[in-house]
Amino acid sequence: MTELAVAFLLILLNGVFALSELAIVSARKSRLRTMAESGRSGARTALALAEDPGRILSTVQIGITLIGLVAGAVSGAALGEQLTEWFRGKGLTGWFAEAAGYGVVLGAITYLSVVVGELVPKQVALRDPETFACHVAPMMSLLSRVVTPFVWLLNASSRLVFRLFGATEAPASTVTEEEIKTLVAEAETAGVIEGDERRLIAGVLRLGDRSARALMTPRTEIDWIDVTLEGEALRERLAQVRHSRLPAAEGAIESIIGVIEVRDALRALVSGATLDARAMARQAPIVPDTLDALGVLDALRAAAVPMALVHDEYGHFEGVVTPADVLDAIEGAMLSDQPSEALEAVQRQDGSWLIDAAIPADEFADLLSIKLPEKRGYETAAGFVLEHLQRLPSTGDHFDEQGWRFEVVDLDGRRIDKLLAQKIDAKSDDEEGTP
């Protein structure tokens, strides 16, 4: 019975090593840092071990190897002899009794080692790796210092093998945008965050990938004030606008000189002063169309007038960016900022999508779960179509891409206004079912 107890204790000790290894390796470093800052016992030690995975892996491997040797040499041999004698007493003779005795012992120890010494501890560790890592880290750190020479030897040997096969050092662990999106989606499924929160997080992630050109309202769609207007003509123009700020230009939108605050005009009207559009025009920040969205946001935050004028590399005025455009990129356009009939995408009963061609390309890709090249020369769904057609389209032009058929269903002059996106397999099924 003593040998049986020793064997079971060795298996439990093997389970402790297996739990420790998986808990420390699987623990999220960000959470360990938070726990360490809050004063959680063992968190700093666990973080130190997690930063040097080779150290903990070598320590655990040494421990598990020693346990296996002891279990086989002591408990396994003693129990095998006892079980062999028991089989002989039951009538088995010669090598049959010995094979049966040692075979049963080795099978039982192997089974218990796999289940109790490996699978169960690892599954337990995965349920809350950071908490278990904090509990076992002090013991594992002490053990790693005790066997430091052997740990160094194993690590050096591992690096040598990597060099022989031409492998480089493991890169530092990084978190990709796709992993963040997956984690957020899992959090929504688990009820940790709301669906609206997930959509906001996805919008913030998209914001960092956009340029000023992707955010701006193009000059062809801008309401603006001509500073050469005077008297009644200026009043009528101000009465027509529905924005609180308007770009001011001299004669034509290309000759932009600043931004007019409508409240300044209202103040002049109330006080009876003469309206002078040129005098009311304020300086606004000018940003290149290649500036990233976060840079545009910094410019807006520092500006006296929260409207940025976007220019291309040749100095031509291209459009404006306001805080509402930034919010649009994150959450979606406000109803008051667009015509009542304007919807970026509407799914029809057959599963197809009627899409506003001005929808940002990244939102368009997310909507249909398609992949776009990281480096591309367009910012909207209309640009996606032009990239594939390589010409100005006509109504009805279509092409197939990534399992979807994209058809131009409406043009506004030369501008693509509406697209129809339909799954190719769904379209084929419909056509086959039509008599």
Identify the pLDDT of residue 431: 47
Identify the pLDDT of residue 198: 81
62-106 confidence digits (pLDDT tens): 888 888 777 766 655 666 666 666 666 666 666 666 666 666 666
Identify the pLDDT of residue 134: 92
At 385, list the tokens: 């179509």
With 0.75 as the threshold, say if the pTM is over it: no
DSSP lists the bridge partners of residue 346 as: 354
Cα separation of 9 and 106, whole Å?
16
Higher pLDDT, 117 or 93: 117
At 54, list the tokens: 């080779």
Identify the pLDDT of residue 171: 55
Cα separation of 197 and 215, whole Å?
21
Q: Give whole-number Cα distances, 68 to 11, 15, 126, in Å.
A: 9, 12, 24
Identify the pLDDT of residue 432: 45
**Helix/strand/coil (H, E, C) string of 290-339?**
CCEHHHHHHHHHHCCCCCEEEECCCCCEEEEECHHHHHHHHHCCCHHHCC
Quick check: 76 and 69 in contact, CB under 8 A? no
Bridge-based pairing state of the strands 398-401 and 286-288: unpaired
The most confident of the ranges 85-94, 287-296, 368-377 is 287-296
Give SS3 for 401: strand
137-154 confidence digits (pLDDT tens): 999 889 888 888 888 888
Dihedral Cα 423, 425, 427, 428, nearest 10 deg: 160
Cα separation of 45 and 223, whole Å?
61
The domains located in the chain, with CATH, are 2-164 (no CATH), 177-207 (no CATH), 212-336 (3.10.580.10), 343-433 (3.30.465.10)
Cα separation of 100 and 79, whole Å?
12
Residue 118 pLDDT greater than 80, yes or no: yes
Weakest mean pLDDT among 195-199, 257-261, 417-421: 195-199
Q: Model confidence at 254, in pLDDT bands (50, 70, 90)?
A: confident
Residue 203 pLDDT greater than 60, yes or no: yes
Quick check: 397 and 389 in contact, CB under 8 A? yes
How many CB atoms lie under 10 A from the CB of residue 429?
A: 12
DSSP letters of 67-88? HHHHIIIIIIHHHHHHHHHHHH
- Quick one: which H or E segment has residue 400? strand 398-401
Q: What average pLDDT does the segment 336-356 reach?
A: 70
**Identity at 309, one-letter amino acid code:** L
